[in-house]
């Protein structure tokens, strides 16, 4: 270790990367407009104008692509660019005449411009089969298939309000799946396969037992090995045991798949933040293009587009029309799985006679 090894320096100060117009107008923006989908125009108190051109990315970015973005930035936005909180890239342009050419260039390279205003933006998602050991499904592939299908809603077609889709490949939910207008979530449906021969070596049995939220795991000696057993009726396939102990795997080619959730949000606009709620408990994994999942999401988006009022988020729309109408209008089947049966289940029961008949 060399003497001048740097540690704990933290990230570079953002000032280094801010274009002059932003430094000059920091905290002094007056209003914004959206001259066209994918373009934001922010106007400063003194009239300074900043055009942000927002383009889609696959989130996974090759260094070739990052270098391409760097070149585009050099050409149109004085070398300044940023990413958004949802994996879009934005070019920060001060010269209005460069806005259209920048858009053209991006779209020509396969990075379509859009995602602002009321409609779809990029999907917040996770690693999937590209990198994670926990994944009950792939992430990037489903996202790609979905966004291809819903593309117009990103690019030019409006929806009543913002629709935020999120994707997570397992119940750890490394994304905003629990609070999204529409969420896709990888699910397991088979009991943990226990490697009895090695579990005692790889894992601490007591902490594995303790990891189970429902108490389904019990210590047990199997074929002379110190191991555990899982009570079938008590397992809901959360894979928390697997997170703690690699010798209990949940991944399964036939039983794994996706669930779909709707009606969450995080903004405080109009309504308070809301959790996503179960719409479809299970759809099988259908690589490479997950047609059933894609069709299911399109159906929800289109039913919403037809029924919602302006600005209404998916959850607000459903609250207004009622869940029975949501299931009715989408044709999605309501099953016993939709009725919560975990710790706070009773808080979700309809405890009133206020019903549409």
Partner 1 sequence: MTERQTPLLDELEKGPWPSFVKEIKKSRKNPMAEDLLGILERSYREKIGHWKHGGIVGVMGYGGGVIGRYTDIPEDFPNVAHFHTIRVNQPAGWFYTSDVLRKICDIWERRGSNITNMHGSTGDMVLLGTTTDQLEPIFSELTELGFDLGGSGSDLRTPSCCNGQARCEWACYDTMGACYAITQEYQDELHRPAFPYKYKNKFAGCPNDCVASVARSDLSIIGTWKDSIQIDQAAIKAHHSDINMVDDVTSRCPTGCMKWDGAKLSIDNANCVKCMHCINVLNRALAPGKERGATFLLGAKAPIVGGALLASVMVPFVPADEVVDTIKELNEAIWDDWGENGKNRERVGEYIQRIGMGNFLERIGLAPVPQMVIHPRTNPYIFFEASEEE
Q: Which stretch binds a second copy (CB under 8 A): 105-113, 192-200, 334-342, 349-357?
A: 349-357
Q: Which stretch binds ligand SRM (CB under 6 A): 172-180, 197-205, 207-215, 327-335?
A: 172-180
Interaction residues for a second copy, span 210-269 (CB under 8 A):
268
Q: Which stretch binds a second copy (CB under 8 A): 150-158, 165-173, 186-194, 346-354?
A: 346-354
User: Would you say the C-alpha torsion 180, 259, 338, 217 has a positive or negative sign?
Assistant: negative
354 sits near a second copy (criterion: CB under 8 A)? yes
Interaction residues for ligand SRM, span 130-169 (CB under 6 A):
131-132, 134, 161-162, 164
> Rounded CA gap, 194 and 235, in Å?
14
Cα 297–238–140 angle (5° rounding)? 40
Interaction residues for partner 1, span 132-171 (CB under 8 A):
132-135, 138, 140-141, 144-145, 147-149, 151, 154-155, 171
Closest distance between ligand SRM and the C-beta of residue 299, in Å?
21
Cβ closest to a second copy, residue 226 vs residue 271: 271
Q: 3-state SS of 280-339?
A: EEEEECCCCCCHHHHHHHHHHHHHHHHHCCCCCCHHHHHHHHCHHHHHHHHCCCCCHHHC
DSSP state for residue 128 in the 8-state scheme: G
* One of 272, 310, 336, 356 touching a second copy (CB under 8 A): 272
Q: Give the residue from 295, 319, 293, 294 showing the smallest Cα distance to 307.
A: 319
> Rounded CA gap, 80 and 105, in Å?
16
174 sits near ligand SRM (criterion: CB under 6 A)? yes
- Are 80 and 89 a contacting pair, CB within 8 Å? no
Query: Strand pairing partners for 260?
Result: 184, 280
In the complex, which residues of this chain contact ligand SF4 (CB under 6 A)?
A: 126-127, 132, 134-135, 168-170, 172-174, 192, 211-212, 214, 216-217, 230, 235-241, 250
Query: Which 3 state secondary structure label does DSSP give 241?
Result: helix
Closest distance between ligand SF4 and the C-beta of residue 44, in Å?
15
Give the number of other Cβ atoms within 10 Å of residue 177's Cβ: 27
* 314, interface contact from ligand SF4, ligand SRM, partner 1, none, CB < 5-8 Å by kind: none
85 sits near a second copy (criterion: CB under 8 A)? no
Could you tell me how many residues of this chain bind ligand SRM (CB under 6 A)? 32
- Are 110 and 128 a contacting pair, CB within 8 Å? no
Give the number of other Cβ atoms within 10 Å of residue 350's Cβ: 9
Closest distance between ligand SF4 and the C-beta of residue 203, in Å?
12
* 197, interface contact from ligand SRM, a second copy, partner 1, none, CB < 5-8 Å by kind: none
Cβ closest to ligand SF4, residue 101 vs residue 281: 281
Using CA atoms of 172, 176, 182, 186 in order, give the dihedral in degrees to the nearest 10: -20
Distances from the Cα of 54 to the Cα of 84, 100, 117, 350, 356, angstroms: 9, 12, 11, 43, 43
Interaction residues for ligand SRM, span 71-110 (CB under 6 A):
84-86, 88
339 sits near partner 1 (criterion: CB under 8 A)? yes
47 sits near partner 1 (criterion: CB under 8 A)? no
Closest distance between ligand SF4 and the C-beta of residue 70, in Å?
24
64 sits near a second copy (criterion: CB under 8 A)? no
Closest distance between ligand SRM and the C-beta of residue 83, in Å?
7
Terminal C-alpha separation, the chain: 74
Closest distance between ligand SF4 and the C-beta of residue 125, in Å?
8
* 117, interface contact from ligand SF4, ligand SRM, partner 1, none, CB < 5-8 Å by kind: ligand SRM
């Amino acid at each position: 270790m060399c003497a001048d090894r740097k540690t704990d320096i933290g990230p570079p100060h953002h000032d280094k990367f801010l274009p002059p117009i932003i430094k000059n107008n920091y905290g002094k923006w007056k209003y914004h407009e959206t001259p066209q989908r994918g373009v934001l125009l922010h106007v400063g108190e003194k009239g300074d104008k900043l055009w942000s051109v927002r383009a889609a990315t696959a989130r996974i970015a090759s260094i070739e692509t990052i270098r391409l973005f760097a070149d585009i930035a050099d050409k149109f936005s004085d070398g300044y660019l940023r990413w958004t909180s949802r994996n879009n890239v934005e070019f920060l342009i001060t010269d209005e005449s460069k806005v259209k050419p920048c858009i053209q260039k991006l779209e020509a390279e396969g990075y379509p411009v859009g995602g602002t205003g009321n409609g779809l933006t990029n999907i917040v998602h996770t690693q999937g089969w590209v990198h994670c050991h926990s994944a009950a499904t792939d992430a990037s592939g489903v996202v790609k298939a979905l966004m291809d299908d819903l593309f117009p809603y990103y690019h030019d077609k409006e929806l009543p309000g913002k629709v935020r889709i999120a994707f997570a490949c397992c119940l750890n939910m490394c994304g905003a799946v629990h609070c999204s207008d529409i969420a896709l979530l990888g699910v397991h449906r088979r009991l943990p396969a226990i490697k009895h021969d090695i579990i005692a070596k790889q894992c601490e049995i007591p902490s594995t037992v303790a990891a189970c939220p429902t108490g389904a795991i019990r210590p047990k000696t199997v074929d002379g090995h110190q191991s555990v057993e899982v009570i079938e009726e008590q397992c809901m396939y959360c894979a928390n045991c697997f997170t703690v102990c690699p010798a209990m795997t949940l991944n399964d080619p036939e039983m794994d798949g996706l669930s779909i959730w709707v009606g969450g949000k995080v903004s405080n606009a109009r309504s308070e933040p809301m959790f996503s709620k179960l719409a479809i408990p299970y759809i099988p994994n259908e690589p490479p293009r997950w047609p059933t999942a894609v069709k299911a999401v399109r159906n929800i988006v289109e039913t919403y587009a037809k029924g919602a009022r302006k600005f209404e988020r998916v959850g607000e729309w459903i609250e207004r029309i009622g869940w029975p109408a949501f299931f009715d209008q989408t044709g999605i089947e309501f099953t016993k799985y939709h009725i919560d049966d975990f710790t706070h289940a009773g808080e979700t029961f309809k405890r009133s006679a206020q019903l549409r008949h």
